[in-house]
Amino acid sequence: MNSIRHKTSRTFYLLAIFIVLLCLFAFFNLLYLQKQVKEGVVISNFKDDILEMRRHEKNLFLYHNKNELKNILFFNQEATTNLRKNIDSYSRLSSQIDLNNLQQLLKNYQVLMTKYWEQWEQLQQENIAGAIRPLGHSLSLIADKYALQERENLLQSLNTTQWTLAGAIFITALIIVLIGYRLSYLVVKPLRDLENKLEPIAQGKFDQLKVDNDEQEVITFTNAFNRMLYELNLRKQRLLHTEKLASLGVLISGVAHELNNPLGNVLSSCQLLKEELDTADRDLLIDWLEQIDSETMRAHKIVNALKDFGRQQDFVIESIQLSELIDNTLLLLHNDLKRLPKVLKDIPDEVFVNVDRQRFQQVLINIIKNSIDAGDETNQIELKAEFCWDHSCTLPEEAHVIGELKKSLNSNLPFTILRIKDQGNGMDKETMEHIFDPFYTTKSPGNGMGIGLYIVQEIIREHSGEIGVISQPSPQPSQSKRGTEFIIRLPYPLINCIHEETLNETIDTTLHKKEELLKQ
């Protein structure tokens, strides 16, 4: 199995080997330059010996001082020794100069100087001096030629080393760039792909990650992350069920009171019917029976609404008439709503939502229950639904929005928008930014766990929708209350929900209403 760690290690090992080879090359190159410099010192010493020998030669012939002769013989011996010890350096330096001839010239120069020493008091010295001068001149020319060639070779070696090091630096930089590009492909690309896959999770969508990479680390991380997502999703479902059970417990107490009224009416009608069965006229008996029937149906609807909400079932998306779902929800909350003004509803029968019934009903219950608790007996709750387009029903800029509505490829297709508004106390900006956080609540202890609206936004995300909230607190108790408005936007179900003719009629009706409002 491929491994990012192994690939990275191999890449850095190759880079290390290349750097070591480059360092060895630079080291041996410096050794070669050092050798060139040493040979330059040898040639320079040879030239200096020849120049000193020639200087003392001039002084000898000019001042006829015997000490100058000793110095000449000394420097001649030094040049001869230098040539003998470094014969290999001289051989590599020039192939145009005969070293044997150079050694012979030095020897002849020494022989002539020795004769000059022996014939110091004789008159034949002038003849020997005439032979010494051209011989010394030849030695000077050879020394100059050696020095010049040595300097040229040293400059050429320095130039070669300079360009070699520049080329090595360029190749090193190129290799580092290639290694960086390779590492970017091996390491950064899988991580970037993984980061892109994690973005939906940051938006609350706990879908399992797909493994489309053969790197061991990526596969191991993805499998571990998928296990974590499974556990998170499991705990999310448990939290959702816990919140539903808590809501169910609150609803049951209210429903119990609601059932007392129809059951009491049924009991009363049955007793009257039992007592007056033989004496009452037919119309009165039918009236009592109809009352029993209506009250029984009323209790039946309450029990069915509660049963539907409490039933445990899998997540199933279906097309649901929004008005019917809201009526069932308000029926469950009737005991809490009866102390408030009558709920204002503007929910056309043509408006449908593509949702999971239980989950979306939990959204409605949580939001409406919060709206009920947000104010006093004068709190007016309004519900309004319609379908519209993104360009015509955008959320206000001041709205705090959670989720992102998936845009359809066809911009002409509408979506469903539901507004739930109250005239309660409202919220400040800081509170509004935290209301969807888990376990955040402004209620007193014992009146809520703070997960109701967190569950709401999670369910809205599951349905690929978005929820926004607009609210402002009332500055003074005596001033009119501004309240809070929740706005839910969901993709509008065009398939298996309403016929095209019904959709067109609803679109025309909506556009007509908007035109009338604009004229007013």
- DSSP string spanning 159-173? HHHHHHHHHHHHHHH
Q: Which CATH architecture has domain 226-312?
A: Orthogonal Bundle (1.10)
Residue with tokens 């990012």: 4
pLDDT of residue 384: 92
pLDDT of residue 480: 54
User: Which parts of the chain have pLDDT scores under 50?
Assistant: 123, 407-411, 478-479, 495-501, 503, 507, 514, 517-518
pLDDT of residue 354: 87
pLDDT of residue 261: 63
pLDDT of residue 383: 93
Asked whether 417 and 487 are in contact (CB, 8 A), the reply is yes
pLDDT of residue 518: 47
pLDDT of residue 13: 83
Q: Which two tokens stand for residue 286?
A: 């039918």
pLDDT of residue 392: 59
CA–CA separation, 352 vs 386, rounded Å?
9
Angle 131-137-141 from CA coordinates, rounded to 5°: 150
CATH class of the region 4-194:
mainly alpha
Residue with tokens 């009363």: 268
CA–CA separation, 122 vs 126, rounded Å?
9
Cite the residue boundaries of each domain of the chain with CATH code 1.10.287.130.
Answer: 226-312
Q: How far apart are the first and last CA of the chain?
A: 72
pLDDT of residue 409: 39
Cite the residue boundaries of each domain of the chain with CATH code 1.20.120.
Answer: 4-194
pLDDT of residue 419: 92
- pTM (2 decimals)? 0.49
CA–CA separation, 53 vs 50, rounded Å?
5
Cite the residue boundaries of each domain of the chain with CATH code 3.30.565.10.
Answer: 318-519
Q: Write down the CATH number for the domain with range 318-519.
A: 3.30.565.10
Please give the mean pLDDT across all residues of the chain. 76
pLDDT of residue 495: 47
Rounded to the nearest 10 degrees, the angle between the axes of helix 4-63 and helix 216-275 is 150
pLDDT of residue 250: 56
Cα 518 to chain centroid distance, Å, stands at 46
pLDDT of residue 497: 42
Other C-beta atoms lying within 10 Å of the C-beta of residue 489: 24
pLDDT digit string, tens, across residues 67-122: 888 888 898 888 888 888 888 877 776 655 677 888 888 888 888 888 877 776 66
